[in-house]
A = this chain, B = another copy of it.
Amino acid sequence: MFNKKTIFLGFASVLLAGTVVAAPVHNTNITEEEVRKAQEAWGAALIQISQDYSEGGLAKAKETAEAVLNQAYGYAQGPVLFKPTLATGETTFRITQEGALAYFVGDNPEFGDSGFALKGWREYSFENAAVYINGDLALTMGHVHLINAAGEKTTVDKTWGFKKDDQGDLRIVLHHSSLPYSK
């Protein structure tokens, strides 16, 4: 039935030798390590914008913020689900990059933000309460802690959604940040 002779000649050496070369693997999935690095990078970027503002003023801060948004968020691919900590009313949700930039560095009368990234942030840490990984998308929820130049601490309740793109870079497609509820 089978053409056994041909098959035998072709693959016997493999069976006898038992040495199997590792096959190339293409894996599009997101990993916990990548998520952790993306969370660290977000904090480092926020502090960088704050420092650039201190040293180079609004122009430099805005330039850095634009670079951060281009790299770390998914606005180029489509709408981003972004509810910033201090956004409210008609401009609660910053679906476009313009709205996100306004939130971080202000200077946009349409949104009226004072510029969250300009508030002198110096230290950053996060605590994940739980992580959910599904394919190339990861969701995290937990506390983010920020310390400003005056040593004051702020904590927010934070949810992120990270999407791994075709180049292997993680982009924020979801970001819900809120102040802790005060009883």
Instruction: Identify the A interface with B (CB < 8 A).
Output: 1-4, 6-8, 10-12, 14-15, 20-21, 23-30, 32, 77-83, 85-90, 92-93, 95, 125, 127-137, 139-143, 145, 147, 152-155, 157, 159, 161, 163, 165-166, 173-174, 176, 178-183
Contact = CB atoms under 8 A, between A and B. Distances in A.
Mostly, the A contact residues are mixed
A23 B135 contact: no
A26 B131 contact: yes
Chain copies in the assembled complex: 4
Nearest to A18: B125
A87 B130 contact: no
A161 B180 contact: no
Contacts of A147: 15
A77 B157 contact: no
Nearest to A166: B166
Nearest to A152: B4
B26 A179 contact: no
20 contacts: A4-B153, A7-B154, A8-B152, A8-B153, A15-B147, A23-B131, A24-B78, A24-B79, A25-B79, A26-B173, A29-B135, A83-B159, A87-B181, A88-B183, A92-B143, A135-B135, A137-B137, A139-B173, A159-B159, A165-B166
